[in-house]
Amino acid sequence: MLKIENLHARVEGKEILKGLSLTVNPGEVHAIMGPNGAGKSTLGNVLSGRDGYEVTEGSVIFEGRDLLALEPEERAAAGMFLAFQYPVEIPGVNNTYFLRAALNAQRKQRGEGELDSMQFLKLVREKLKIMQISDELLHRAVNEGFSGGEKKRNEIFQMAVLEPKLAVLDETDSGLDIDALKQVSQGVNALRSSERAFLVITHYQRLLDYIEPDFVHVLADGRIVESGDKALALKLERLGYAWVGEREPAGAQA
């Protein structure tokens, strides 16, 4: 589904990713852990196509397509979803209107028919049940005045409606208390399926108590230096990121 090979990326002239390789298959949940400054958020931003990130080397193939050649909206239509670390407030744009515009824009790009407001409302009702969020949030402007927890839940709700093939969660746990963390995790778990993959980017092991990963990768200095199963996350928790500094890059690709 996703194949990242030897990815190098720069931000403001500074090289952040220095040869990152990763393969994700349908149904898998991969956790990317690492210390601050390792390049975790850069990875999420490069994958979603944010401006200001310059890929200097390497490739990213998503569903057989060159992901890096696509515009952000084309990536979304191809099935890529980024849950933002800091969801953006958009005053004046109604949450429901926004979500329907997004879904229909994606469907249109994929050559599928657009949903009318009745069909869309039905879909939204179904997803609301899964996500256990109040429909009051739907009537407000996108993320405007939402609490930190509401913003993150709104991200997962959008994901539920848009049904991506690959969801990248960029530090979705940051700023959440334990109850909000559980709710968000429940939402994510409800969306796990054999066709959908997740890339869970996090600084802390805590989130992985609730979203159980199939694979854990340690990102340090722009490369994956260690890969393993969920036991690796526990080891990191015990030994701290200082331990990572002693590791050689996993696989040590050119």
Partner 1 sequence: MSQQPASSPMLESLLEAPLPQGAAWLDVIRRENLDALAAHGLPDSRHEAWKYTALRGLAQRRFHQGDALALTREVDAGLLQLPGIDGPRLVFVNGAFRADLSRLDDLPDGLEVLPLSRALAQDDEPLRFALSQRYRDVADAFAQLNIAYATDGVVLRVAAGARIDAPLQLSFLGAEAGELAWHLRHVIALGDGAQLSLVEHHAGLSNSPQLVTSMADIVLGEGARLQMTVLQQAASEAALVRRTGLQLGVAAHATMHVAELGGGLVRHDLYGELKGDGARLDTRGVFALRGRQHVDTQLALRHDALATASESLWRGVADQRARGVFRGAIVVAEGADGSDASLSNKNLLLSAQAEIDTKPELEIYADEVKAAHGATVGQLDERALFYLRSRGIALAQARTLLTAAFCRAVLADIPHEPLRDHISDLLLAQLPADVSA
Q: Does 224 bind partner 1 (CB under 8 A)?
A: no
In the complex, the smallest distance separating the C-beta of residue 49 from partner 1, rounded to whole angstroms, is: 7
Question: What part of residues 149-168 is at the interface with partner 1 (CB under 8 A)?
Answer: 158, 162
Which of 23, 65, 66, 73 lies at the binding interface for partner 1 (CB under 8 A)?
73
How far is 192 from 224, CA to CA, in rounded Å? 24
Contact 49, 72 (CB under 8 A): yes
Decide whether 60 or 103 has the Cβ nearer to partner 1. 103
Binders of partner 1 among residues 51 to 70 (CB under 8 A) are 51
Instruction: Compute, in degrees rounded to 10, the torsion defined by CA atoms 57, 39, 235, 215.
Output: -50
191 binds partner 1 (CB under 8 A): no
Based on the shown chain and the rule CB under 8 A, indicate whether residue 50 belongs to the binding site for partner 1: yes
246 binds partner 1 (CB under 8 A): no
How many H helices and E strands in the chain? Answer: 8, 12
- Counting every residue written for the chain, the total comes to 254
Q: Binding of partner 1 at residue 90 (CB under 8 A)? A: yes
Nearest Cα residue to 201 out of 235, 247, 170: 170
Cα 223 from Cα 219, distance rounded (Å): 5
Instruction: State the burial class of residue 190 (Cβ atoms within 10 Å of its Cβ: 0-12, 13-18, 19+).
Output: middle
Alpha-carbon span 103 to 124, nearest angstrom: 11
- Minimal distance in Å, beta carbon 247 to partner 1? 33
Binding-residue total with partner 1 (CB under 8 A): 31
Please pick, from the candidates 82, 167, 197, 232, the single residue that binds partner 1 as defined by CB under 8 A.
82
- Burial of residue 38 (CB within 10 Å: 0-12, 13-18, 19+) is buried
Q: Which of 87, 187, 213, 222 binds partner 1 (CB under 8 A)?
A: 87
CB 92 within 8 A of CB 141: yes
Site for partner 1 contains 92 (CB under 8 A): yes
Q: Which of 53, 84, 157, 215 binds partner 1 (CB under 8 A)?
A: 84
Give yes or no for residue 187 binding partner 1 (CB under 8 A): no
Q: What is the distance between the alpha carbons of residues 48 and 16, in angstroms, rounded to a whole number?
A: 16
Q: Which is nearer to partner 1, 13 or 91 (CB)?
A: 91
Residues that bind partner 1 (CB under 8 A): 48-51, 71-73, 75-77, 81-82, 84, 87-93, 98-99, 101-103, 105-106, 109, 141, 158, 162
